[in-house]
Amino acid sequence: MELSGDDIVTQFLKDEGVEYIFGYPGGAVLHIYDALFRQEAVKHILVRHEQGATHAADGYARSTGKPGVVLVTSGPGATNAVTGIATAYLDSIPLVVITGQVTSAFIGSDAFQEVDSVGITRPCVKHNFLVKDVKDLAITLKKAFHVATTGRPGPVVVDIPKDITDPNIKIPYEYPESIELRSYKPVIEVQSSQIDKAVDALLSAKRPMIYSGGGSVLSNASNELRTFTRQLGYPITQTLMGLGAYPEPDPLNVGMLGMHGTYEANMAMHDCDVLLAVGARFDDRVTGELEKFCPDAKIIHIDIDPSSISKNVHVDIPINGDVKTVLGELSNAITASKRLPDEKALKNWWKQIKEWAAKDCLRYDNNSALIKPQFVIEKLYEITGGDAFITSDVGQHQMFAAQFYKFDEPRRWINSGGLGTMGFGLPAAIGTQLAHPNDTVACITGEASIQMCIQELATAFQYSTPIKVVNLNNRYMGMVRQWQEFFYESRYSQSYVEALPDFVKLAEAYGHIGMQIEKPEDVEAALKEAFAMKDRLVFMDFITDQKENVYPMIAAGKGHHEMHERELA
């Protein structure tokens, strides 16, 4: 088949099985947009800002495990996409971002809408390419999908100068079925000696702890994680990125750990003698002060990326490999060893953990005359039967969602953990809803975050994505306000969001349904009404308690055992 570069792009995407491409047209990609017009296999989702395209593709990727695909133009198209690319990079999400570039001959001349996209994106991609010859186009796209989706996933940018997609230059095209890169070998053979060492350490433990992260989700290792954890009966805590890989409503689950983790999870981390880290990267929001991190623990770490091992915390037994494979091998090796965990020690350990859990660290004042954000999430959890895809923005609402929505499946909790990108939630919900048209998708957000990508309400209208927006409106950048209260003597510098729009009217202006809820007694009815509207986007503006804080909290420089807790009258 002879094709020109523009048709190669669309034909390749079709051959690669791409369902949706999220994008925004512009000069340098007009040939590709013309090719998109001539075909029907790949559905283009027109966003209202390129950041929205990357987040929507990201939501699609997180909720499906398939790569998200983005198409933007050169210059500002590419720079607007950078925030979304970095968001995906920090959370290891597979994206392929095609950026248009000015015509090859103009590169370096400061041409109109020219920016060095490969240079700008280099520090926040897994890899990037500049296509220099149309003959390399298909193979480069194949490399991009291969690199993005294998090993530790991540975003890959393919920068395509306009002349490469010239409709008048036709070359033979054949879909490259597979690709080998001599410099990139993502499949790792697990060292059996490390498995043996890990099994010995795990079965010798008196106070064991499993700490599972986003890698368990990315590796689709949920079943293996469940089998393994239940086989041992050990307590498990999950990171913000890992929630749902192990079901949260489960006796072995002690809740999220870290800065806003549960008292029992953090105390168990501090006191454990053997820690098994599964696809987690010892992020500073998880570890607290490194000097005080798991002081008595022998640490085992499973990770597909060797550079994650012993990066922040020294690891005693590193296991480099895919989480799914390694957990399977560990389970088999434990069975084969015919050894059992130390039952007496484990019983004492669980007794201790139950005592910590009895503190009920997430409790809040549910007799308040004001709407508590936690209450809204609890009701949301009930009304959706715990069965919704939940996206979030960044801040207090994100932490409340993580604490109070109990995920029992992976890929249901979609949030920007690493980069902490406000504005992520709504476009991510659009990508998620497109991938799961018959499921319930809710975006938990705040009045500050939602305004960072509010324009995507138009995209949601155009593609009839019936997202339920749960806006926890406390008229403050809540997490900023909380830090200012704790660490800046309540000097609320610039954290009050003055001149807020009327969100009900705003939602209506975009063609959606808006609701405002001011009283706790109206929360449940409003949620029920909204979720009953299966085919409409409903924007629920909950006017919440301005002074509510996220507890427990580990402040900077503190260890897991030094949490601030809520004091209730």
Partner 1 sequence: MQHIISLLMENESGALSRVAGLFSARGYNIESLTVAPTEDESLSRMTIVTSGSNEIIEQINKQLDKLIDVVKLVDITANGEHIERELMLIKVKADTSDKREEVKRQADIFHGQILDVTDTTYIIELTGESSKLDGFIKAMNAADILETVRSGTTGITRGERCLRL
Catalogue the active-site residues.
50, 112-113, 162, 479
Stretch that binds partner 1, among 97-105, 121-129, 263-271, 387-395 (CB under 8 A): 121-129
Site pattern 303..332 for partner 1 (x: CB under 8 A): --xxx--xx--x------------------
Token readout for 45 is 């989702």
Tell me if 70 sits within 8 A of 98, measured CB to CB. yes
Of 184, 461, 463, 483, which lies in the binding site for partner 1, with binding defined by CB under 8 A? 184
Coil, helix or strand for 548?
A: coil
Residue closer to partner 1 by CB (options 168, 183) is 183
Residue closer to partner 1 by CB (options 35, 141) is 141
- Which amino acid would we find at residue 62? R
Strands 538-543 and 155-161, by their bridges, are unpaired
Stretch that binds partner 1, among 1-9, 119-127, 268-276, 419-427 (CB under 8 A): 119-127
Residue closer to partner 1 by CB (options 118, 555) is 118
Please tell me whether residue 168 binds partner 1 under the rule CB under 8 A: no
Please tell me whether residue 189 binds partner 1 under the rule CB under 8 A: no
Residues in contact with partner 1, counted by CB under 8 A, come to a total of: 18
Of 107, 118, 139, 513, which lies in the binding site for partner 1, with binding defined by CB under 8 A? 118
Q: How far is the CB of 440 from partner 1 (least distance, A)?
A: 38
Please tell me whether residue 463 binds partner 1 under the rule CB under 8 A: no
Coil, helix or strand for 192?
A: helix
Measured CA distances, 421 to 110, 164, 323, 497 (Å):
30, 33, 27, 18
149-159 as b/e, with b when 16 or more CB fall inside 10 Å? bbbbbbbbbbb
186 exposure class (CB count in 10 Å sphere: 0-12, 13-18, 19+): middle
Taking the C-alpha atoms of residue 224 and residue 230, their distance in angstroms, rounded to an integer, is 10
Largest CA distance in the chain: 76
- Which amino acid would we find at residue 34? D
Q: How far is the CB of 217 from partner 1 (least distance, A)?
A: 21
Residue closer to partner 1 by CB (options 118, 504) is 118
Residue closer to partner 1 by CB (options 103, 312) is 312
Please tell me whether residue 106 binds partner 1 under the rule CB under 8 A: no
Coil, helix or strand for 68?
A: strand
Please tell me whether residue 123 binds partner 1 under the rule CB under 8 A: yes
**Angle ∠(150,153,155) on CA atoms, nearest 5:** 120
Stretch that binds partner 1, among 61-69, 115-123, 288-296, 402-410 (CB under 8 A): 115-123
Measured CA distances, 470 to 158, 466, 524 (Å):
36, 13, 12
Strand partners, 471: 445, 541
Residue closer to partner 1 by CB (options 89, 510) is 89
Taking the C-alpha atoms of residue 486 and residue 336, their distance in angstroms, rounded to an integer, is 52
Site pattern 260..299 for partner 1 (x: CB under 8 A): ----------------------------------------
Please tell me whether residue 183 binds partner 1 under the rule CB under 8 A: yes
Stretch that binds partner 1, among 116-124, 195-203, 208-216, 222-230 (CB under 8 A): 116-124
Taking the C-alpha atoms of residue 400 and residue 413, their distance in angstroms, rounded to an integer, is 13
Footprint on this chain of partner 1 (rule: CB under 8 A): 118-119, 122-123, 126-127, 130, 147, 181-184, 305-307, 310-311, 314
